[in-house]
Structure formats: structure tokens, C-alpha cells
Amino acid sequence: TQLLEQSPQFLSIQEGENLTVYCNSSSVFSSLQWYRQEPGEGPVLLVTVVTGGEVKKLKRLTFQFGDARKDSSLHITAAQPGDTGLYLCAGTSGTYKYIFGTGTRLKVLA
């Protein structure tokens, strides 16, 4: 059973479009992270959110942690080909240690 479900699983969009990726769970997490992974490389940490309702912005990326700390979203504004990659959320809780989401594979076409 996957504890962190991401949607959509795949996304192919044109350069300049906006998109949102979701990370959902029925469990509460004490913190949640988002990573981007490119082929042949390890994941790169984008952000860590720890407070319910928290919103963090990183240039064109906006991250939100749900009020109940069970879900999170990643919004990209004006996507660029350099945003292409596998996006992963990961959550920490006392019970489940450290769990990764199912992943969203994004392709941005020029």
C-alpha cells in the first residue's frame, strides 16, 4: 500500500503553461519534502515544509502543505523545458519513518 499518492502520474505540457502536482495521504506527516530527479542523477531537494497550511515559494515553484498535514501540492508557473523531470514528495512521521510518493513524471515541450 502506497502511503503517499501523487497525481498525475505523467504530465506533458507546452512551455509557458502552468501545472499543479498533488501529493496525498490518509496519514499525518510531521514534515514533507519535494524533490526533482533527472535521468541518471539522484533526487535534488527543492523544499521542506513542516507547518500545516505553510506556503513556500521558490522562483516559479509554489509549495503548499495542507492544514491537516496529510497532503501537499507543487504549482509551477510558466513551465520551462528545464523543469522536466521526475517530481517526488517524501514525508516523515514517527510511525512510517520516511516515505516517498509514487512520483510525477513531467515533460515540458519547447
Residue ranges binding other proteins (CB under 8 A): 2, 30-31, 33, 35, 40-45, 48, 88, 90, 92, 97-103
- CB 41 to other proteins: min, Å: 6
- CB 22 to other proteins: min, Å: 16
Residue with cell 515541450: 109
Nearer to other proteins, 18 or 27 (CB): 27
Query: What CA–CA distance (Å, rounded) separates 81 from 75?
Result: 15
Phi/psi-derived region of residue 92, left when phi > 0, alpha when psi is between -120 and 50, beta in every other case = beta
- The angle subtended at Cα 79 by Cα 78 and Cα 81, nearest 5°, is 140
Nearer to other proteins, 74 or 79 (CB): 74
Nearer to other proteins, 79 or 90 (CB): 90
